[in-house]
Amino acid sequence: MTTSAPPTSTAPANPRSRVITASLIGTTIEFYDFYAYATAAVLVFPILFFPTGNDTTALLLSFSVFGAAMIARPIGAVVFGHFGDRFGRKATLVASLLTMGVATFLIGCLPTFNEIGVWAAVLLLVMRLAQGFALGGEWSGAALVATENAPKGKRAWYGTFPQLGAPIGFIIANTVFLIINFALPHPDGTAQRSAEFLAWGWRVPFLFSAVMVIVGLWVRLRLVESESFVKAEEKGAIRKFPLGVVIRRHWKSLILGTFIMLATYVLFYLMTNFTLSYGTKSGDLSAASATAQAAAEAAGKPFDPTAFAAQFYPGLGFGYTDFVIMQIIGVIFFGVFTLLSGPIADAIGRRRLLLWVTGLIIVFGLTFSVFLLPHSDPKFTGALTQAFLVLGFMLMGATFGPMGALLPELFPTNVRYTGSAISYNVSSILGAAVAPIIALWLWELGDGNPWLVGIYLSTMGVLTFIALLLSKETKDIDYDENIGVTAAR
């Protein structure tokens, strides 16, 4: 009499802890690097790299270089997507992380305008383009590592972990800036930037990224290729030119994915870049004029009080450290709602959840003049501003979380990296690249009242809402079946 051996279960190629860590740590580092630049673009670069003598012009130039990275992102999406769909996800993820890390480290080593003139701005632009190129391939690869290794019915939940890198990266980057700023002497009070901070302190967050990159590379080098990609390879579905396949066969998904992501991007950069500019801009012309004059003198430029008054538009007047702390409090809600959105999207569907959240974003855009106008009581202004940041970042988490699953699900395995990366990053041009500049222009057009900035967000929300109405639910798509057209066909 013989007995058959009990069936044995095969352990997954990539254990759950490794999948979560690899997808989370990479995007955390990438977003840390991106936020470090975003913070410096408001606080440091207008003074040190674009000392035009005009406050608005310097800030616009700084934001333009910030937005230039968004143009490089679709290029990175095509390049990294091509290699990710042809040769696998692992090596591509390592390359994108290394590219971002080197570019960020070198920003911390750049000479300023006073040292090499306009070439300082040129070098900053080159490094910024390299950052954008790297991020173009990072997000999609991290999302695929998470979702292609997710258990059945938990793809959106797993897809929130690379998304969680955004709030964590924001908190780490701004905490590092705050620690450095607090540690340096402040003759004018800790709420303001010190001379030492402008001289060398701003470089530390960029140099510190090298430590984080080393940790991230160690984690990612331990990954095994996803089973979805291996199955597609075994069945002959891998294409020599994934971009051509995406454009020819999946153009509708590319367009829908781009506009589904649009409101998320605009909200994202309004809540980080624009609010930092608006929140820390003085509402007092005399105080703002004194600050601008000191900055012009530090840069060796003449200062024209009449010209400054003509281009001045007020803000909320918070100190830098005070406002960043308020932002960090809001970003905590960003992280919490990012995680909460995953199980909800798995339960009711990505499309249904995002339709509700996008509707709320449209309404939220109509409230800017309610929350963001200064009042005679500073405490009341602070309470309204904090409420605005919490609400905005809650919506940001709820809309950003499901994207880690939804965008990859729009495409089959053999072009999933390329398709999701292009949709995600082309949307960055339509949303993130121009959002800070448009917001600055609308802020000035409204004579300091940000209501037009809110209308801009609501308009982008309407476009996203239409794209969601035209799309289909993707939560029940089977990755093992949806590998794409094979060579046999």
Question: Which residues in the chain come in under a pLDDT of 50?
Answer: 1-11, 191, 309-310, 312, 488-489
CA angle in degrees (0–180, nearest 5) for 110-137-253:
140
The Cα–Cα gap between 222 and 436 comes to 38
Burial label, 27 (beta-carbon count in 10 A; 0-12, 13-18, 19+): buried
8 Å CB contact between 449 and 357 = no
Distances (CA, A) of 312 to 29, 53, 170, 307, 315: 36, 13, 29, 9, 10
pLDDT computed for residue 11 by the predictor? 43
In this structure, the dihedral spanned by the alpha carbons of residues 377, 326, 41 and 141, taken in order and rounded to 10 degrees, is: -150
Residue with tokens 């003198």: 297
For residue 408, give the nearest of 191, 228, 210, 197 by alpha carbon.
228
Burial label, 380 (beta-carbon count in 10 A; 0-12, 13-18, 19+): exposed
pLDDT tens track for 162-177: 999 889 988 888 888 8
8 Å CB contact between 429 and 71 = yes
The residue extents of the domains of the chain are 16-470
Residue 189 gets the label, from left (phi > 0), alpha (psi -120 to 50) or beta, of left
pLDDT computed for residue 232 by the predictor? 75
pLDDT computed for residue 294 by the predictor? 65
pLDDT computed for residue 398 by the predictor? 96
pLDDT tens track for 80-115: 988 888 887 778 888 888 888 888 889 889 998 888
For residue 316, give the nearest of 377, 390, 395 by alpha carbon.
377
User: Hey, what are 338's tokens?
Assistant: 């990012």
The Cα–Cα gap between 282 and 284 comes to 5
Q: Which helix (H) or strand (E) holds 209?
A: helix 203-220
User: Hey, what are 333's tokens?
Assistant: 């809600």
Q: Which CATH architecture has domain 16-470?
A: Up-down Bundle (1.20)
CA angle in degrees (0–180, nearest 5) for 235-238-244:
140
End-to-end Cα, the chain, rounded Å: 49
Longest dimension (CA), the chain: 102
CA 469 to mean position of chain CA atoms:
25
Amino acid at 340: L
pLDDT computed for residue 5 by the predictor? 43
Residues 23, 42, 384, 447, CA torsion sign: negative
pLDDT computed for residue 45 by the predictor? 85
For residue 26, give the nearest of 272, 257, 261, 209 by alpha carbon.
209
8 Å CB contact between 253 and 444 = no
